[in-house]
């Protein structure tokens, strides 16, 4: 290991200061969506989580996850694996291929059972020595900066991440993103920003804060602590213009026609990315449906009685938008999402594939009993 480190070139450097980072988003964080977020002001983008073992095996569906678009001026990839030899080989392969990437992020945050049972994702927080060995092995095999994205700990109420931050830095991590939840919480309850701020104290590496960012007022957290940057995930899925709102310090009362134009741009980018043949059209439709399962949660600023809202707030009743399109965009029924895709891609041909569509992503969860966990949004009826 020491010999490998001696042979390494000078480590590249990434300035994470005061940046808005688009989080790595499984299924939904594809290239077309990242391009949309770049258009609205994302400074750094990260590709979807890719499994290291699948990359080494050369699986065709995994390698496209780490492709970069030329508009992504600072781009990182995220890989997931649970053993230092596997991760070292994967990083070495990526390094030898001289891929156009700026940093490699280690996934220590994925909470789903399928990943954690393999000893990957947030389960690594329960094995700190293995985690440190993985970071060290990855760092030894490339001059590309290695970053880590992790949760607070595995079990609710028992944070452990703060204990190993200095050691992660010693092993070669150049930055740390903290998602302010435990593995057992998945995406339920509010992110713990106080814990994230505590982790920044005397941290030897930059700390990027992640969890529940949904309005521009949250950038004040950067000024109140040593948090380096903000990483935005679900907030960008619900309203990708959040990057513009933060940079311009305003709540954007975006119209339904402007929102539909964003979907149209995504569709065109999807056809460019996945192809315009019948298979490409249906792939584009499928990923658009996945995204619409998030966009339907957006409540327009113009019909709110009070704001800003939080990401987990829910409308107390059916939303009556200011026009028919705004009403349609707020529907949370997959059949209505299919209607939207048909306006953009034409009639569904593979009815068997889409008739029982159900979003894959579990980040739409409210609470364990599917009840809103925060107070409800108040809608200004006079403006509808």
Structure confidence by residue, pLDDT tens digits, 253-276: 999 999 999 999 999 999 999 999
Residues 238 and 267 in one domain: no
Record the tokens describing residue 359, joined without a space. 């979003």
Alpha carbon distance 115, 82 (integer Å): 9
> How much is the mean pLDDT over the chain?
89
Please state, in angstroms and rounded to a whole number, the distance separating the CA atoms of residues 247 and 250: 8
Q: Binning pLDDT at 50, 70 and 90, where does residue 383 land? A: very low
Q: Which residue has the higher pLDDT, 188 or 195?
A: 195
Q: Do 69 and 195 fall into the same domain?
A: yes
Kindly list the catalytic residues.
110
**In this model, does residue 2 exceed pLDDT 70?**
no
Domain's final residue, options 200, 215, 248: 248
Residue 239 and residue 261 in one domain: no
Same domain, yes or no, for 140 and 61?
yes
- pLDDT (tens digit, 9 = 90+) per residue, 18-41? 999 999 999 999 999 999 999 999
Range of the domain at 78: 2-248
Say if residue 212 is in the same domain as residue 301: no
Q: Which has the minimum average pLDDT: 24-28, 58-62, 66-70, 308-312?
A: 308-312
**Lowest model confidence (mean pLDDT) among 136-145, 213-222, 338-347:** 213-222
18 and 117 belong to one structural domain: yes
Q: Which of 226, 248, 270 is the last residue of a domain?
A: 248
Structure tokens given for 209: 């804060």
Locate all alpha helices (DSSP H) within the chain, ordered by sequence.
Answer: 2-7, 31-39, 52-57, 84-96, 113-116, 128-140, 161-170, 193-200, 220-224, 234-238, 242-248, 256-274, 278-295, 324-329, 334-345, 351-354
pTM of the model: 0.91
Domain containing 214 — which CATH number? 3.20.20.70
Give just the sign of the alpha carbon dihedral 160, 163, 165, 168: negative
Comparing CA positions, the residue from 243, 287, 263 lying closest to residue 48 is: 287
Backbone torsions φ then ψ of 48, nearest 5 degrees: -65, 150
Confidence band of 310 (pLDDT split at 50, 70, 90):
confident
Residue for token pair 């789903």? 112
Indicate the DSSP class of residue 28: T
42 or 186, greater pLDDT: 42
Shared domain check, 267 and 239 = no
Closest CA to 71 of 112, 114, 35: 35
307 with 206, same domain: the answer is no
Q: Percent of the chain beyond pLDDT 70?
A: 90
Q: Does 187 have pLDDT greater than 60?
A: yes
Q: Quick check: 365 pLDDT over 80?
A: no
**Token pair of 349 as six digits:** 């041909």
Say which residue, 178 or 319, is predicted with more confidence: 178
Task: Write the pLDDT tens digit of every residue in 226-243.
Answer: 888 999 999 999 999 999
Same domain, 154 and 228: yes
State the pLDDT at residue 10.
65
At residue 233, φ and ψ (nearest 5 deg) are: -115, -90
* Residue 223 scores a pLDDT above 50: yes
Whether 22 contacts 36, CB under 8 Å: no
158 and 305 belong to one structural domain: no
- Chain mean position to CA 124: 19
If asked whether residues 110 and 230 sit together in one domain, one would say yes
- How many folded domains does the chain comprise? 2
φ, ψ dihedrals at 176, nearest 5°: -135, 125
pLDDT at 8: 52
Last residue in a domain, options 231, 248, 265: 248
Does residue 186 have a pLDDT over 80? Answer: yes
Q: What values do phi and psi take at 159, rounded to 5? A: -70, 140
Q: What is the pLDDT of residue 7?
A: 47
Give the pLDDT of residue 101: 96
* 271/222: higher pLDDT: 271
CA distance 379 to 303: 6
Q: Residue 115, Cα to own-chain centre: how many angstroms?
A: 17
Tell whether 134 and 44 lie within a shared domain: yes
The mean pLDDT value for 123-150 works out to 97
Contact 124, 134 (CB under 8 A): yes
């Amino acid at each position: 290991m020491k010999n490998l480190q001696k042979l390494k070139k000078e480590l590249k450097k990434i300035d994470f200061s005061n940046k808005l980072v688009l989080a790595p988003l499984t299924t939904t964080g594809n290239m077309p969506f990242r391009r949309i977020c770049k258009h609205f002001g994302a400074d750094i983008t990260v590709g979807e989580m890719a499994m290291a073992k699948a990359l080494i095996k050369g699986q065709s569906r995994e390698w496209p996850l780490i492709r970069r678009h030329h508009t992504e001026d600072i781009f990182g990839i995220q890989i997931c694996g649970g053993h230092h030899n596997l991760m070292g080989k994967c990083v070495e392969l990526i390094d030898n291929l001289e891929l156009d990437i700026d940093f490699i992020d280690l996934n220590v945050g994925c909470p789903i059972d399928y990943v954690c049972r393999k000893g990957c994702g947030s389960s690594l927080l329960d094995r700190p020595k293995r985690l440190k060995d993985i970071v060290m092995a990855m760092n030894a095999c490339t001059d590309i900066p290695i970053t880590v994205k992790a949760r607070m700990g595995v079990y609710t109420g028992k944070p452990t991440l703060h204990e190993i931050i200095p050691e992660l830095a010693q092993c070669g991590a150049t930055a740390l993103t903290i998602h302010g939840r435990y593995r057992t919480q998945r995406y339920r309850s509010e992110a713990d920003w106080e814990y994230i701020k505590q982790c920044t104290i005397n941290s030897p590496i930059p700390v990027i804060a992640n969890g529940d960012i949904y309005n521009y007022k949250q950038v004040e957290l950067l000024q109140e602590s040593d948090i380096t940057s903000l990483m935005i995930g679900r907030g960008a899925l619900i309203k990708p213009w959040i990057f513009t709102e933060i940079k311009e310090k305003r709540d954007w009362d975006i119209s339904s026609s402007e929102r539909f134009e964003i979907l149209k741009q995504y569709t065109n980018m999807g056809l460019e990315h996945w192809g315009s043949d019948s298979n490409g059209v249906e792939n584009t439709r499928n990923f658009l449906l996945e995204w619409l399962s998030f966009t339907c949660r957006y409540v327009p600023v113009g019909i709110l009685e009070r704001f800003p809202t939080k990401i987990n707030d829910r409308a107390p009743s059916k939303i009556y938008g200011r026009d028919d399109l705004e009403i349609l965009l707020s529907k949370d029924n997959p059949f209505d999402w299919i209607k939207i895709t048909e306006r953009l891609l034409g009639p569904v041909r593979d009815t068997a594939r889409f008739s029982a569509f159900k979003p894959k992503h579990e980040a739409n969860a409210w609470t364990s009993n599917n009840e809103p966990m925060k107070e409800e949004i108040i809608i200004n009826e006079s403006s509808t």
